[in-house]
Amino acid sequence: MSARESSLDTVQRELTAFARRARATAARMHPELSLVAYTILAHLEEQQGCRATDLAAHYLLDKSTVSRQVASLEKLGFIERRVDESDHRVQVLHLAPGGIEILAAARTRRQESIQARLAAWDPEDLERFARYLVRYNADAADHP
């Protein structure tokens, strides 16, 4: 096996291992938010005013799933729906105050956890690791 094949194999194995733990990690970090709910809130934080269809397309979820999650998050007071005056079919999604609050709390817990894990890393390694992850996700988006 070439060095390249070996590296690819390692990347695959480790990313899979990470994915396996992701659900459990999310459950511990923010028990009151499912991974998808957290995802939607985090997305809305960056993309205020996006539509349900955007979320479905971006995360490869069925629109019915997003519809139900959005309804649930609205009922909990985490997001708001506004009608688009220029197109009455679309609902424009925004974070509600409750959503901003719970998102901040969840992010703090996640950050503390990650900080503990990466405490011993050199700044250079950390910075390179971050760059690699950005690049990998960008490549993943290009090769669906």
Partner DNA sequence: CTGATATCGTTGCACTCTACAACACAAGGT
Partner DNA sequence: ACCTTGTGTTGTAGAGTGCAACGATATCAG
Q: Which is nearer to DNA, 59 or 129 (CB)?
A: 59
Burial grade of 30 (CB within 10 A; 0-12, 13-18, 19 or more): buried
Residue 123 interacts with which of DNA, its own copies, none, CB < 5 to 8 Å by class: its own copies
d(CA 127, CA 72): 37
Q: Which stretch binds DNA (CB under 7 A): 8-16, 50-58, 100-108, 123-131?
A: 50-58
Using the rule CB under 8 A, is 94 a contact of its own copies?
Answer: no
Asked if 109 touches its own copies (CB under 8 A), the answer is no
Q: By CB under 7 A, tell whether 82 contacts DNA.
A: no
Name, in order, each residue with C-beta under 8 angstroms of 48's C-beta and a sequence gap of 6 or more: 94, 95
- CA-wise closest residue to 43 among 95, 113, 83: 95
For residues 82 and 93, what is the distance between their CA atoms, to the nearest angstrom? 7
**Binding status of residue 117 toward DNA by CB under 7 A:** no
- Burial classification of residue 39, based on how many CB atoms lie within 10 Å of its CB (0-12 exposed, 13-18 middle, 19 or more buried): middle
**Which residues of the chain form contacts with DNA (CB under 7 A)?**
23-24, 27, 34-37, 51-53, 60-72, 87-91
**Which residues of the chain form contacts with its own copies (CB under 8 A)?**
3-4, 6-12, 14-27, 35-36, 38-39, 42, 59-61, 107, 110-111, 113-118, 120-121, 123, 125-130, 132-137, 139-140, 142-143
